[in-house]
Amino acid sequence: MDEGLINSFLDKWHDELKLSIVENGSLCLALFSDKGQLIFANQTMMALFISPEKPADNILNPSFEKLTGFTSTTSLIYKGFLTLGNFSSINTSILVRVYRKEDEILIIGGVDTRQLTQQNETMHDLNREINNLQRLLIKEKSSLENILRQLNQANIELKEANASKDKFFSIIAHDLKNPFNALLGFSDLLMANYKNMEPQEIEEQLQMLSSASHQAYNLLEDLLMWSKAQQGKITFLPQKIIINDIFDEIQSNLENVAAKKSISVKFDDYPDTALYADLNMLKTILRNLISNAIKFSPRGSDVKVQVDTENEFARISVSDKGIGISEKNLSRLWQLSEQFTTKGTENEDGTGLGLVLCREFVEKHGGKIWAASEQGKGSDFMFTIPLFDKKYE
């Protein structure tokens, strides 16, 4: 460009250029004496000085001492990157031209577009790495949460297993021992005194022996069945079952137990209702629920068994007018670990094991079991079992 035009341009726009140089946010401008004293610096350059009280010390590479040692045939003594700041904290590199005239050093520079592009690429790569790290952390967090859930579940199962084990041994040590103590006591009494006893007394002792024997047998049967269920050794064999047939069998088995308390067990007639169930499991469910109803019913009352159909399931309910269950204790009925048992209306013992078996066997069929009760007014125990369908044949 013609030197005359440049001078004309500079003369005409002197004030505007001066203001732009001083206030320009991308142009860095500093004038030093060759002794390192700052004569002038615009705001942009001042922002790069970490220690503004000693500006020359902020020039790191090349250092101010090196710059003053450079020689040249022109006023331009250095062209390239200049690093400013502090080695122990923040530093910034800018592209500069350094001029020297007599005892003054002029530094003019800024950020090169190539430098900006490189910085942008670096920031982009860094951002991508951060995003990848965030995704990895989210994945690891999810994995850790899943492991924690599994550990919590395993801990719950372990606690339940320990509680079940303790309950199991408690039943063996106490509940199973009691009926055998009764058997031994009644049998020893008969052996020692039967020659001197009246027939009616002997009959009463034999009835007590029979009752204790049935109690021990039923408890032992439940224990063995529950133990097999925990080990997965019970074979599930669903088949077509006419509900009336199993009602007849259950009524026959429980007739003596009900008669002792003058309780009537009433089964409604359902000649056409067929279930798809495991026969032994269904018997166990009904036997336990009806036995419990008899146990907690007052002498001379009724226990009623009803069946309703709901879509593909039959809902069987066992209802009594006995002592009932508090709302607090309803949720504790189905867990062996709760150690929840109640004596019957005539001080009959229980272990709670029967209801746990009922829950496991009902759920094995894909059904549900629940109870509704009000203290002093009786209880309704209900469960669902699949209805038979031709597709099962």
The number of beta carbons lying within 10 Å of the beta carbon of residue 73 is 5
Q: For residues 115 and 181, give the distance between their C-alpha atoms in angstroms, rounded to a whole number.
A: 96
Residue with tokens 């088995």: 253
Q: Does residue 150 form part of some domain?
A: no
- Can you name the residues that pair with 319 across neighbouring β-strands? 304, 380
Helix orientation angle between 279-295 and 353-364, rounded to the nearest 10 degrees? 140
Provide φ and ψ at 131, rounded to 5°. Answer: -60, -40
Sorted by sequence, the CB contacts under 8 Å of residue 280 that are 6+ apart come out as none
* 161 found inside a domain: no
- Given 80, 111, 142, which residue is the final one in a domain? 111
Residue range 322-361, pLDDT digits in tens: 888 888 777 777 766 555 566 556 555 555 677 888 888 9
CA–CA distance, 27 with 95 (Å, rounded to integer): 10
Indicate the SS3 state at residue 53: coil
Q: Provide the number of structural domains found in the chain.
A: 2
Would 377 be classed as within a structural domain? yes
Residue 146 lies in a domain: no
For residue 84, count CB atoms less than 10 angstroms from its CB and return exposed for 0-12, middle for 13-18, buried for 19 or more.
buried
What's the rounded Cα separation, in Å, for the pair 316 and 331?
Answer: 20
Q: Is residue 39 part of a domain?
A: yes
Same domain, 98 and 242: no
> Which tokens belong to 258?
């009900």
Provide the CB-side half-sphere exposure for 241 (13 A, CA). 23
* Contacts within 8 Å (CB) and 24+ apart, 362-371: 362/285, 364/236, 364/278, 364/281, 365/238, 365/277, 365/278, 365/281, 367/313, 369/334, 371/325, 371/330, 371/333
Amino acid (one-letter) located at 351: T
Question: How far is it, in rounded angstroms, from Cα 320 to Cα 188?
Answer: 37
What average pLDDT does the chain have? Answer: 82
The reported pLDDT for the residue numbered 383 is 95
pLDDT tens digits, 367-383 = 999 999 888 888 999 99
Choose between 306 and 228: higher pLDDT. Answer: 306
Chain centroid, CA 8 distance in Å: 80
Mean pLDDT within 91-114? 86
267 falls within a domain: yes
Q: What is the pLDDT of residue 106?
A: 93
- CA–CA separation, 205 vs 192, rounded Å? 12
Across residues 22-31, what is the average pLDDT? 82
Cβ atoms of residues 355 and 291 within 8 Å: no
Cα separation of the two ends of the chain: 103
- Is 267 strand, coil or helix? strand
Q: Which domain holds residue 350?
A: 235-392
Q: What is the pLDDT of residues 218-261, one digit of tens each?
A: 777 777 776 776 666 678 889 999 888 888 888 887 887 788 88
Does residue 393 surpass a pLDDT of 70?
A: no
Rounded to 10°, the helix 279-295/199-230 angle is 130
**Domain match, 383 and 239 both:** yes
pLDDT digits (tens, 9 = 90+) for 113-171: 566 567 667 777 888 888 888 888 898 888 888 998 998 888 887 776 676 666 666 55
Name the domain boundary from 60, 79, 111. 111
Indicate which CATH number applies to the domain containing 103: 3.30.450.20
What values do phi and psi take at 222, rounded to 5? Answer: -65, -40
> Does residue 44 fall inside a structural domain?
yes
CATH number (domain holding residue 242):
3.30.565.10
Residue 61: inside a domain, yes or no? Answer: yes
Please state, in angstroms and rounded to a whole number, the distance separating the CA atoms of residues 219 and 332. Answer: 20
Residue 386: alpha-carbon gap to chain centroid: 31
Instruction: Find, among 23, 34, 41, the residue nearest to 96 by Cα.
Output: 41
| Burial class of residue 391 (count of CB atoms within 10 Å of its CB; 0-12, 13-18, 19+) | exposed
Q: Which of 86, 111, 136 is the last residue of a domain?
A: 111
Tokens (6 digits) for 3: 């030197």
